[in-house]
Chains A and B, each alone.
Chain A
Amino acid sequence: MGKIVEFLDYTFEYSGMERPAVEGVSFSVEEGEVAVLAGASGSGKSTILRSINGLIPHMYPGRRSGKVTVDGADVSSTPTYELARKVGFLFQNPENQIFMFTVEKDVAFGLENLGYEPEVIRRKVDWALGLLGISDLAKRSPSELSDGQKQRVALAGSLVMDPKILVLDEPTSLLDPRTAQDVVSLVSRLNKDLGLTVVLVEHRLELVSPMADRMVVLSGSRVWAEGSPAEVLGREGLHEVGLSPPAIVEVQKRLPSGDGLALDVDGFVRRFLADVGHRV
């Protein structure tokens, strides 16, 4: 297991903007890990994600310094279609990433773009639909699907390209709590079963903390904290950077100290996360 995503003193400023979207960012993600990026709106999370699959700098010009490496490839010198083989990307709104008239055709879209043979495409599409439990939707039109189903179709369209890394940009923000939980459980299963490295941005920390191996908090375009969820969530000042830690962490922090009550925030959070994680 080695570093599969690595940011080294990375700074990026979009053309026409007056300040960098991210500045001096350094962190790495190990192969097979689930890394959660958190932070207030405008802290640079989406810029980080788009720098992993090469949309930045190939689609969005701007001033940059430092280096981003994905599976050994320097993102700035690797075309996006090459990175598409390594990185699957799930956007916030599944509606805007389903192009075709039927589910199976949409799932096939990426493979057709890469020039795979029709028989190979058929086999991979059937595999992806089966993996996500949506084989029965193969012939359906996207407009007939629920939001949760659309999210699964979009996920199938990414996974069919057999990526090593799955990047998700607030995948549950448009979903109801139950469907959101389903999507998170699904991502957790994909991480465990396929050994996929997952990098995701999510505001509902109580939903994703249990499956996270690493958490990176951004504030004011810089990394504010990085470490295990227990380390990061146990830190003071989360509210000041626009985050709401899981309620259980808040409760634990407010328990009175003294009178023989020794507080072990890290241990408490770790046990809680392990317990919830087990259920997820």
Chain B
Amino acid sequence: MAHVMAEGFKFRYLKTPVHGLDPRVKLLMTAMLFALALLSSNLYQEALVFAAVGVPAALARSLKRLLRIAALSLTFSLMIFAVNMLFGQPLLESAVITIRFLGIVAATSVFFVTTSPDEIEYVMRWFRLPRDFVFAFATSIRFVPVLMMDLTQIIDAQRSRGLEMDRGNPVRRIRNLIPVLIPLIVNALVRSGELAEAMEARGYGAVSRPTSMHALLMKKNDYAALLVLVPAWSLLITYFLGLL
């Protein structure tokens, strides 16, 4: 399940007007959609949130992926709904809260399906976050596929030695994970040691403010996107806050 979820969030570059936007514009757009989703307080407003998320998602040809991500978060949504009902919230209120959660998931997904990890790193550097923090973020994402491959190999190796992972009661199944997790952690530690060596060998930490080959530059289409986004969002947020 986690693997499918991760697959849903995985970035795939498509040549669309949204993918081509400056990552800072995409981040701002996501923050705007997030705020709308958070402030929505009835079903009409929630329908507007989904419409607002749907426009960039459709332009980015990622509507299906977004729906898939929403479907994957359905189990958690149902839990939210059940907990609300259990604690005495009326049916409609519980539904609004649950749909609000789905709206937040959809709003944040727009950013992750249209922004490459590279671009996220540029934005983090632009915000002048500490170099070590940005580097840790970048390498952790870079090594997800590598660790997934390690995991597959370890599972295959342990299964070929007779480990039955899907057998037994839930407690037994969790215990079955130990022979997989221990080699995975050991592998990751060895890998991190080698990474540290390679970082040193390539001058990591030589200067307090490393330079960057790429610079973020706002283009015409980024300004055009802002010209549409800001007024539309202002209008919606005014309505959501009951000022309209």
A and B held together in a complex:
yes
Residues of B within 8 A of A (CB): 116-118, 121, 135, 138-139, 141-142, 145-146, 191, 194-207, 209-215
* Residue in chain B with minimal CB distance to A116: B211
A-B pairs with beta carbons under 8 Å apart, 16 shown: A54-B200, A55-B197, A58-B200, A79-B206, A81-B200, A84-B200, A89-B201, A96-B198, A97-B198, A100-B118, A111-B211, A113-B206, A118-B214, A121-B213, A125-B213, A158-B202
Tell whether, in the assembled complex, residue B207 and residue A100 are in contact, meaning their CB atoms are under 8 Å apart.
Answer: no
Report whether over half of chain A's contact residues are helix, strand or loop; otherwise say mixed. helix
CB-nearest residue of chain B relative to A143? B145
**A104–B198 CA distance with the chains assembled, in angstroms:** 17
In the complex, what distance in Å separates the CA atom of A114 from the CA atom of B204?
8
B210 nearest in chain A by CB position: A112
Greatest chain A CB density within 10 A among B118, B146, B205, B213 is at B213
- Asked if B138 and A100 make an inter-chain contact with CB atoms under 8 angstroms apart, the answer reads yes
Partner of A112, one of B145, B191, B195, B211: B211
Nearest first, the 3 A-B pairs at minimum CB distance are: A81-B206, A97-B198, A110-B202
Which residues of B have CB within 8 Å of A91? 194, 197-198, 201
Cβ B199 vs Cβ A99 within 8 A: yes
**Residue A108 CB within 8 A of the other chain:** yes
Nearest A residue (CB) for B206: A81
Q: Which of B117, B142, B203, B214 has the most CB of A within 10 A?
A: B203
A117-B215 Cα distance, complex, nearest whole Å: 11
* CB contact list, A220-247 vs B, under 8 A: none
CB distance from A174 to the nearest CB of B (A): 13
B191, B200, B210: the one contacting A96 at CB < 8 Å is: B191
Contact for B213 among A81, A88, A112, A115, CB less than 8 A: A112
Tell yes or no: A187 within 8 A of B by CB. no
Closest B residue, CB atoms, query A124: B213
Contact surface of A with B, Cβ cutoff 8 Å: 50, 53-55, 58-59, 79-81, 84-85, 87-89, 91, 93, 95-102, 104-105, 108-118, 121-122, 125, 142-143, 157-158, 161
Q: Which of B138, B142, B202, B204 has its CB near the most chain A CB atoms (within 10 A)?
A: B202
**Most chain A CB within a 10 A radius of its CB, from B142, B196, B198, B206:** B198
Instruction: Please pick, from B142, B196, B211, the residue contacting A118 in the complex, using a CB distance under 8 A.
Output: B211
Contact assessment for B194 and A96 in the assembled complex, using a CB-CB cutoff below 8 Å? yes
Residue of B nearest to A92 (CB): B194
Query: A95: which B residues are within 8 A, CB to CB?
Result: 146
**Do the beta carbons of B139 and A121 come within 8 Å of each other?**
no
Instruction: State how many angstroms separate the Cβ of B145 from the closest Cβ of chain A.
Output: 5
Chain B residues near A80: list those with CB within 8 A.
Answer: 200-201, 203
Q: Which residue of A lies closest to B148 (CB)?
A: A143
The distance in angstroms between the C-alpha atoms of A117 and B197, with both chains bound, is 25
Chain A residues with CB under 8 A of B198 = 89, 91, 96-97, 99
Q: Is the CB of B205 within 8 A of A101?
A: no
Give B141's nearest chain A residue, CB to CB. Answer: A101
User: Hey, which chain B residues are within 8 Å of A143, CB to CB?
Assistant: 145-146
Asked if A112 and B118 make an inter-chain contact with CB atoms under 8 angstroms apart, the answer reads no
- State A202–B198 Cα separation when bound (angstroms): 19
Docked complex Cα distance between A79 and B207 (Å): 12
Are the C-beta atoms of B116 and A101 separated by less than 8 Å? yes
| Cα of A114 to Cα of B208 in the assembled complex, Å | 9
Neighbour of B206 across the interface among A84, A89, A121, A158, CB < 8 A: A84
Pick from B118, B191, B195, B200: contact of A55, CB below 8 A.
B200
CB distance from B215 to the nearest CB of A (A): 6
> Which chain B residues border A88 with CB–CB below 8 Å?
201
A32 CB to closest chain B CB (Å) equals: 22
By a CB distance below 8 angstroms, the chain B residues around A102 are 118
CB-based contact A115/B197 at 8 Å: no
With contact pairs A53-B201, A58-B200, A110-B203 given, residues A99 and B138 touching in the complex (Cβ less than 8 Å): yes
Q: How far is the CA of A122 from the CA of B214 in the complex (A)?
A: 9
Cβ-defined contact, A84 with B142, below 8 A:
no
Instruction: Name B202's contact: one of A59, A96, A109, A116 (CB within 8 Å).
Output: A109
Residues of chain A lying within 8 A (CB to CB) of residue B196: 59
Q: Closest CB-CB distance, B164 to chain A, in whole Å?
A: 30
Quick one: which of A85, A89, A113 contacts B204, CB cutoff 8 A?
Answer: A113
